[in-house]
Amino acid sequence: MNFFKTFLASCLGSLLAMVALVFILIAFFSAAVSNFSTDSAQVVVADNSVLHLNIDGRITELEVDDPLEGLPLPGANDPAIGLLQLKKALVHAKSDEAIRGIYLDVSVFQGGYAVAREIRESILDFKKSGKFVIAYSEMYSEASYYIASSADKVFLNPEGEIEFNGLAVEVSFFKKLFDKLEIKPEIFRVGDFKSAVEPFFLDKMSDANRLQLKELIDEINSTSLKEVAESRKIDLEKIKNISSQMLVVSPQDAKDYKLIDSLVYYDQVQSELRLKMGIGKSDKITFVKYNKYRKSFSTSSSSKNEIAVIVAEGDILPGKAQDGSIGSETFAEELRKARTNDKVKAIVLRINSPGGSALASDVMWREVILASKAKPIIASMSNYAASGGYYLAMGCDTIVAEPNTITGSIGVFSVLFDLSSFLDKKVGITFDQVKTGEVGDLVSFTRPLTEVEKSIWQKKTNKIYEGFTAKAAAGRKMQVDELRKVASGRVWSGMQAKEKGLVDIIGGFDDAVRIAAQKAGLGDDYKIKFYPKQKNFFAQWLQGLEENADAKILQHELGEGYQTLQQLKRLQHYRGTQARMPFEFSYK
């Protein structure tokens, strides 16, 4: 009897799953057909419209077209905002007669400060058209306010909040955890500032790491304050004092210190928008959201000249690219295609990476060098282009960075973990081995390394550092000894890196494209194409469905410990020698 119950239950479950899958496929193809029709006809923007720019979502360099956008399907995330597409939309809106202005809606910005600056600069450029930009929120984080301050008027809810007290950086340390578990890290590094491995053997920052972090965030904060002061027409020294002393505690403080223009509710913001648009008090405001507006125009060009933009975003790993990572095989292949394609007249590398595998970085560097011999290749740095990320950039003709880009970190490290004591005392597993020589398996987690093996690992790490710095010096046309004075794993802001000779131009993505076109002698006769091309969305969605389910279960079970677990999981990427940024941190 139980067998038949189990059998029938299994059949019913399978039937329901099939029915669900059919509905999902119907929805998928319906949405795809609908979106294809929409894209073909394009969204029509009504006259006298306001572009509603909500940028609280995830920010990536490029966004993936989502044929299921808007459907309440399981596992669906809010679509990411692609920075490069957003910039295009703002350029188009600047000359679009249907757009009267922008309603800027940003509370908790999820991108870094270099990306925030790219958006901010695009808004300032939009304002040159004479159109209005009004920002309103119930609360502003530090980065959100930095963007919002570019608006003509900045409004805050009367009971809202604004964070304006500078930046803080927090680094996680795992030494005490490893001590409790009797896990011993074996660490080999080059450079006093190469502190990526410090969390494994220290319980607080080293003096060198504290120095570089303090100088880094001071520089980033100074840049932000200077630009806020210019936009809000507040004396720079005054605004520095407001920030450092945290003088803004209440919404009224923000108004008194002129960080915002008025304390208002949303209906009052609407009244301001109606006034700007020249419509009646009871007339409806026509908003067009960004995800719709970006479908209202086409950026296709009939030009035969192409500038290939190859986007490198995430950790650097060997092999093919995965979501959120740069695969050396994929990236090298894209560079080879761009180098050998006669239609491609110049290349822009858009880099947003803290680094990763030193070997994978070197594989890609070689393709950058080969490409540079064939046509202009320009590096455009986003939030990060550090260590392995800088490795990609250093062979380019010109390196362009935002003033608050985090770059440099020219240094390497190797790390292995001796789990023998943990496995023996905590789990009850022991190991033994025989070998043919003094050195057997050089990579082992089941026993401590011998002194000979440690010596070999340090020599290997030193050798890779020597290669890294020699190639960086050649790319920057510097003497190796001169280059090493700004290496040793030290991170720099984009502005500091320019002063040290590691960066050529302070600017954004548009500046990099302009330089590429100029070096290729294209004038304005070119089109931009992004690579690698988008993956199949349906496959991505199915993968995301599974990943989201697993993540939600872990988040529910671990609570605040979930983020720590995610950091520990990243250790699996620390295989071989790493050219990686010397810390994992978050702004606060």
Which residues are the active-site residues?
387
CA distances in angstroms from 204 to 184, 200, 481, 491, listed in the order given: 17, 10, 31, 18
The letter for the amino acid at 416 is: L
Considering Cα of 394, then 362, then 529, then 85, what sign does the dihedral take?
negative
CA distances in angstroms from 185 to 40, 189, 447, listed in the order given: 57, 12, 11
Helices (H) and strands (E) in the chain, counts: 21, 24
Question: What b-and-e string marks burial along 442-452, b requiring 16 or more CB atoms within 10 Å of the CB?
Answer: eebeebebeee
Question: Residue 62 burial by CB count (10 A; 0-12/13-18/19+): exposed, middle or buried?
Answer: middle
- Beta strands 153-162 and 132-140: pairing type? parallel
Q: Which residues contact 407 (CB under 8 A, 6 or more apart)?
A: 381, 384, 385, 386, 389, 390, 393, 401, 491, 492, 493, 494, 497, 502, 503
Considering Cα of 508, then 510, then 516, then 519, what sign does the dihedral take?
negative
SS (H, E, C) 10-55: HHHHHHHHHHHHHHHHHHHHHHHHHHHHHHHHCCCCCCCEEEEEEC
CA distances in angstroms from 224 to 110, 220, 229, 534, listed in the order given: 16, 6, 9, 34
The letter for the amino acid at 406 is: I
Nearest 10 degrees: Cα torsion 61, 67, 72, 75: -60
Q: Which residues contact 312 (CB under 8 A, 6 or more apart)?
A: 326, 331, 349, 350, 351, 352, 353, 364, 389, 392
The tokens for 112 are: 């870094």
**Could you give the CA distance from residue 449 to residue 417 in angstroms, rounded to a whole number?**
10
**Could you give the CA distance from residue 167 to residue 218 in angstroms, rounded to a whole number?**
8
